[in-house]
Structure 1
Amino acid sequence: MATIVEFRFPTEEFALEETLDTHPGAHIEIERVVANDPEQITPYMWARTDDFDAFEATLEDDPTVEDVVMFSDTGEERSYQMTWTGPIDFLVQVLTEYSGTITHADGSADGWDLRVVFPDRQSLSRAYEAAQEGGLQLDIKTIYGSEDTRGVQYGLTERQRNMLAAAFEAGYFTVPRETSLADLAEQEDTSHQALSERLRRATGQLVESTLITHNDGSEE
């Protein structure tokens, strides 16, 4: 049975401390994280803030990140790809050594809230022991088991799963459609463009996880 843990990281032990401290009203949501090698990871994230120009200027100078690229701007939010080079050893271990999957990650000036799914309780225990040995302060909120690993399997964040489910239940995917994107955006209390962007990303992730076969470059 999969084991799920929800915990909080202080920003100084993770990433983007300078950016989040400088912009206390900013909120960051990690869409997915890729572990490129043992020394760096690449997060794809959404950010909300009152002043994107000032936020991006701070982000470019933040010592924990490199190679920041802005992907899209919905007006309310902007999405970015970057490389984290800060104190991320534990996170890389979670992703690579203990088979953890990050299904939710929110960052603000108060800290980082993460939800991680491990294949079993033993993997979680090993990851927690590694955190303690590294002197990390993990504020664990809850630990629970789940036999429903579909969200993990498909690589969707909780927000993406909820959004797709809401669109499905409202009849957005029926033929003919029973609701419009504008009505769905109003229901979700977001803009038409922001919802459209998120739906495309979530649908693309679902298709990639279920229909696309990635090869290793070898010839058959």
Structure 2
Amino acid sequence: MATVTRAKIPAREFALYQTLREVPGAEFECERLVESGDGTVMPLIWARGADRETLREAFERDPSVSDVSLLGEFDDELLYRMHWIDQVYLVFQMVTTLEATVIDAYGDEQWWYLRILFPDRDALSRTNDLCESRGLTFEVVRVREMRGDPVGRFGLTREQYEALTMACDRGYFEVPRRTGLDVLADDLDISHQALSERLRRGTDVLVQETLLVGPRGALGESSQ
């Protein structure tokens, strides 16, 4: 069964480490990451915490990147396309040999945080073996099986999924609301307090699994 794995890699063992050292406070978030042949990786990457000129100079000195193109500038974020040509052996092997998908990645001067879809547990195990043989660090933070239904895809419990979808269908999240917690709780045969906690925890899981990357997303699974 496919698994979604959250893991982290020390920044010193990954691309853009020199840039991150030269530009304290810079952060990078990958929107797309694919292999581009010849052992290189090509990401679309958002940069925050630094201006374009500072980053341009840092990229020019960074041996891990080449062919950097600025695609857009939006308030305090810059969108780049580039090639990672060094310190990306692990990711290159994951997306080629191991047929994994890097869903998202976030880097700061300490760590790179990755969310990876592995086709099965064996691929994850082989990743660990590969890192051990090459002296690389791959610290698994969390693993969950990805079932085919929406519950499995987004990491919700069935109770959270039922509560959230019912609340949405009946207009609980609309402004103004078309129904209240008491009515929903009665229909689910649970207490007002239990439903409130279920909705909050379910919402927290959805935000972690769809919006957050980096250390904010590397949290434990929510309970029912």
Fold match by TM threshold 0.5 = yes
1:119 aligned to 2:110?
no
- How far the C-alpha of 1:75 sits from its partner, in A, is 2.2
What are structure 1's unaligned runs of at least 5 residues? 154-168, 170-177, 179-220
Matches of 1:9 and 1:147 in 2, distance apart?
26
Corresponding residue of 1:101: 101
Relative distance call for 1:146 and 1:87 in structure 2 (3 A) is same
Cα 1:76–1:66 change in 2 (3 A) is same
| Partner-residue secondary structure (3-state), 1:32 | strand
CA gap of 1:27–1:148, structure 2 versus 1, over 3 A, is farther
2:31 is the alignment partner of 1:31? yes
Offset of 1:51 from its aligned partner?
A: 2.6
* Identity across matched positions, percent: 32
Deviations 1:187-218 (A, max 9, x none): xxxxxxxxxxxxxxxxxxxxxxxxxxxxxxxx
> For residue 113 of structure 2, what is the amino acid of its counterpart?
D
User: In the alignment, which residue of structure 1 is the partner of 2:67?
Assistant: 67
Shift of 1:47: 0.6
Task: Indicate the residue corresponding to 1:157 in structure 2.
Answer: none
Give the Cα separation in 2 of the matches to 1:131 and 1:50.
32
Give the Å deviation of 1:149: 8.2
Q: Kindly provide the CA deviation profile for residues 31-62 of structure 1, in whole angstroms up to 9, marking residues without a partner as x.
A: 11121114211111011124331122111211
Match of 1:143 in 2: 143
Change beyond 3 A, Cα 1:67–1:149: farther
1:53 aligned counterpart, secondary structure: helix
Query: Given the alignment of the two structures, is residue 10 of structure 1 paired with residue 10 of structure 2, yes or no?
Result: yes
Give distance in 1, aligned partners of 2:44 and 2:3: 24
Q: Which runs of 5+ in 2 are unaligned?
A: 154-167, 169-174, 176-224
**1:124–1:80 distance in 2 versus 1, CA, 3 Å:** same
Mapped to 1, the partners of 2:80 and 2:103 lie a distance apart of: 18
One-letter amino acid of the counterpart of residue 58, structure 1: A
CA RMSD after TM alignment: 2.0
Q: Specify the alignment match of 1:40 in structure 2.
A: 40
Are the aligned partners of 1:5 and 1:115 in contact in 2 as well (CA < 8 Å)? yes
CA distances 1:61-87 after superposition (whole Å, capped 9, x unpaired): 111000100000112111001111111
Distance 1:145 1:39, change over 3 A: same
* Matching of residues 114-193 of structure 1 within 5 Å: 114-148=114-148
Task: Answer yes or no: is 1:88 the counterpart of 2:88.
Answer: yes
Describe the SS at the equivalent of 1:147: coil
